[in-house]
Structure 1
């Protein structure tokens, strides 16, 4: 239950998070990855770094700027990490506008480093596949980041070891998509697929999708994925009936409230009269010579 969505709590004590949420698979977003794209891409790419990119975009729902902007200290890939913010393996996505590769997270949650441990930022859980590709990458290809401490680095050419720029990751995915017969693959397509999968698993719960994907609001998720388009006629009729009942109840409560308010005003007037009468009686007792007025 989502208590932030409770409407007229004095009328109903419980309300489903989204009573109109359609059951079963949701409508595909037009910019989602084709079916089986992840597997075909993993078979096509050659470097462990590139397999990490595909896996982390698919399983983490990361934006490409968030992924390329990760530092090694942002990774808490074991249970009960020192940050104490999440028991499961996770990432702390931090907004760093000064990254040398100009990659930065879109979200700007507050974060800090305490005794070498990052806390705060946007916390995103990681899958076992993400952990596996990370260790494959750092044990076979990672070149130390040339002292920058960033996760993704250039593997070839004059800039070997320097932080990998987002445009490099985009181009890698585009080339891999063409070789796999998928056409140009864009990083954000992974995010659409991820969010749609979360909505399917959560029965359309917008808050879960918002938190899992790091969206600004549940309303934005609803707008982007157009869940209203999937509402059935029965669901619409049900919510219309519930809405009519609630409106009637609101009108009744408004009338009751007005009646109670009038009674309260009358009671306060009577109380003021009684207070004045008591004051007069006290004055007569104190000075009997005045007599009854």
Structure 2
């Protein structure tokens, strides 16, 4: 529609409207990543007629008790690890399937010197054999066998437990690719596990657990909400725990009032003039 009006203005029809529509804006990070020669762009065309993007404020989260039921329905140590790591750290499925063993610093005082407690480094790699890749592209490096940089996520004791259960019972000793999650059966056993296979595993486990279809991103939504609640609404803590680019995303999607919260109920009673 904008192009039509600009064309009419070029023909001398309603040139004032054409001037109002012929706007530019500063390029965003997404523009620079996706546009041809985006890193050289100083301006992008703007369309005042385009509707504003509206983020969904109430994302679909896991039902209460889903983690316990999924762990009971999981049939391998690898699958139990996947459920635990998604639930306790809010990984995107591409981040989890893209992890290398070298990205995991699961002991205190790791040589990277960037986090004293157990943690993982989420590093964007374009050449993973399973095509899994982290969405965020934080700079990282591999120096003397130690990964530094990337997006750092803290690791829970339960995550460490499921990791060691998996690598000591199911991880193939001869694997040369260095990736964390592998296929366990079939002709491609020992090869890196693709994100689509992880999604299928969760879907099957969800149905066995009576939860219906379980989506990996539901873990991330539940994790973000839980961290935000536990942090007393601190957006910066929730942002860093989940690896979001800004607190605005956390605020718009997750920072909503729990209508069953006693504090919320008490506030309403005060407004209503109800002393009880």
TM tier, smaller? 0.7 to 0.9
Q: In the aligned structure 2, how far is the partner of 1:145 from the partner of 1:197?
A: 39
Q: Is the CA contact 1:113–1:119 (under 8 Å) kept in the aligned structure 2?
A: yes
Post-superposition CA distance 1:29-86 (Å, at most 9, x none): 4410000000000001110000000000000110000000000000000000111100
Q: Tell me if structure 2 keeps the 8 A contact 1:144–1:161.
A: no
Q: List structure 1 segments (4+ residues) > 4 angstroms apart after TM superposition.
A: 228-235
Query: Where does the alignment leave 5 or more consecutive residues of structure 1 unmatched?
Result: 1-27, 236-293
2:230 to 201, 211, 222: 201
Task: Find out whether 1:44 has 2:62 as its counterpart.
Answer: no
Among candidates 75, 87, 99, match of residue 58 of structure 1: 87
The separation in 2 between residues aligned to 1:234 and 1:143, in whole angstroms, is 57
Unaligned runs of at least 5 residues, structure 2? 1-56, 268-276
CA distance in 2, matches of 1:97, 1:198: 30
The structural deviation recorded for 1:228 is 7.1
How many residues were matched structurally?
209
Q: Highest Rg: 1 or 2? A: 1
**Equivalent residues in 2 for 1:66-145, closer than 5 Å:** 66-144=95-173
Correspondence 1:187 to 2:216:
yes
Secondary structure (helix, strand or coil) at the match of 2:152 reads: strand
- Aligned counterparts, 1:165-184, within 5 A: 165-184=194-213
SS across alignment from 1:170: helix
CA distance in 2, matches of 1:234, 1:136: 47
C-alpha change, 1:119 and 1:158, in structure 2 (3 Å) is same
Superposition deviation, residue 233 in structure 1: 11
What SS does the aligned partner of 1:227 have? Answer: coil
CA contact (8 A) 1:72 1:149 kept: yes
1:155 corresponds in structure 2 to: 184
> Which moved further from structure 2: 139-148 or 59-68?
139-148
TM superposition shift of 1:217:
0.5
Native 8 Å contact 1:40 1:180 kept in 2: yes
Does the 8 Å contact 2:120/2:152 carry over to 1? yes
Cα 1:228/1:54, change in 2 over 3 Å: closer
Q: After TM superposition, give the deviation of residue 145 of structure 1 in Å.
A: 6.9
Distance 2:58 2:229 in 1: 12
- What TM-score comes out, normalization by structure 1 length? 0.68
Q: 1:211 aligns with which of 235, 240, 254?
A: 240
Q: Which is richer in helix? A: 1
- Distance (whole Å) between structure 2 residues aligned to residue 44 and residue 233 of structure 1: 37
Residue pair 2:228, 2:255 contacting (<8 A) in 1 also: no
By how many angstroms is 1:216 displaced? 1.1
